[in-house]
Chain A
């Protein structure tokens, strides 16, 4: 039996379920694009477009949250690929690269630990964010990142070791 707000092209996804996790999804999108508000909004909007059109089809094999986070992750990767191509073309054309690349819009107020998280390698930072801030298990976080659970666990352990060191120094 379908709920009334299930999506036509994605019968296992309901609008209300997406609304319930909207804040979390937006937070994830925000950290995918150096905290640029407009880009994060575009990413979330694009994720909803993918779900509405059925191009990203959820079959209930994972949790909906894991699936939507993975959609945002893939969209942000595509965006970075496009940006990298554009930068390469600009460099080939002899233009000064990075002239129109916005500075990260991350707020300046943060603790040493938060700073330490931002300095971690990308995958370690992602798994720490997913596990500690988005309440995911290592298995779910690894699925979002598109790596095996074993690899995810390695990133998690290394990140935690670094952060523990920073926490001890504070």
Chain B
């Protein structure tokens, strides 16, 4: 090491020491914080994993129900449909009464008037 190197070394060492004096945190504290950060990160990862698993489960259940519903659908045979003389609506919620015979009676519509015998206004 030359004289100038030694001078630089001493001057810089002193400068650095002044800047860092009393500022170094305790190793144990920093280490403990690092370990706790890892624990927290794992906990977060587990929580995110749990949520992802729950979402996946819901998606699987929904998809399986959708498939089941698709399988229950039935196609109407056009000939059978054309030759039918009676028909029961799958739901008669919009009709005046349960099992209303739509072939035998004309339902009185809300928009109708008696004078016009059921014709729409």
**A interface list, Cβ under 8 A from B:** 15, 18-19, 22-23, 26-27, 30-31, 35, 37, 41, 44-46, 48-49, 52-53, 106-107, 109-111, 113-114, 117, 128-129, 132-133, 160, 163-164, 167
Instruction: Give the contact stretch, choosing among B18-26, B71-79, B101-109, B113-121.
Output: B18-26
Bound-complex Cα distance A164 to B9 (A): 12
Q: Are A49 and B8 in contact (CB under 8 A)?
A: no
Bound-complex Cα distance A34 to B54 (A): 46
Chain A facing B: main interface SS: helix
Q: Which of these, B16, B27, B38, contacts A129 with CB under 8 Å?
A: B16
Q: Are B30 and A35 in contact (CB under 8 A)?
A: no
Q: Whose C-beta in chain B lies nearest to the C-beta of A19?
A: B27
A21 to chain B, nearest CB (A): 10
Q: Are B4 and A164 in contact (CB under 8 A)?
A: yes
Q: Are B33 and A45 in contact (CB under 8 A)?
A: yes
A10 to chain B, nearest CB (A): 13
Bound-complex Cα distance A132 to B18 (A): 15
Q: Which of these, B24, B33, B35, contacts A23 with CB under 8 Å?
A: B24
Q: Are A45 and B8 in contact (CB under 8 A)?
A: no
Residues of A within 8 A of B34 (CB): 45-46, 48-49, 52
Task: Judge if B51 is at the interface, Cβ distance under 8 Å.
Answer: no
Q: Are A111 and B30 in contact (CB under 8 A)?
A: no
Q: Which of B52-110 contact A (CB under 8 A)?
A: none
A55 to chain B, nearest CB (A): 10
Task: Judge if B47 is at the interface, Cβ distance under 8 Å.
Answer: no
Task: Judge if B48 is at the interface, Cβ distance under 8 Å.
Answer: no
Chain B facing A: main interface SS: helix
Q: Are A133 and B12 in contact (CB under 8 A)?
A: yes
Q: Are A52 and B15 in contact (CB under 8 A)?
A: no
Task: Judge if B13 is at the interface, Cβ distance under 8 Å.
Answer: yes
Given contacts A22-B24, A22-B30, A114-B11, contact A49 B16 (CB under 8 A): no
Q: Are B19 and A110 in contact (CB under 8 A)?
A: yes
Q: Are B27 and A167 in contact (CB under 8 A)?
A: no
Residues of B within 8 A of A30 (CB): 19-20, 23
Q: Which of these, B18, B20, B31, contacts A48 with CB under 8 Å?
A: B31
Q: Are A26 and B24 in contact (CB under 8 A)?
A: yes
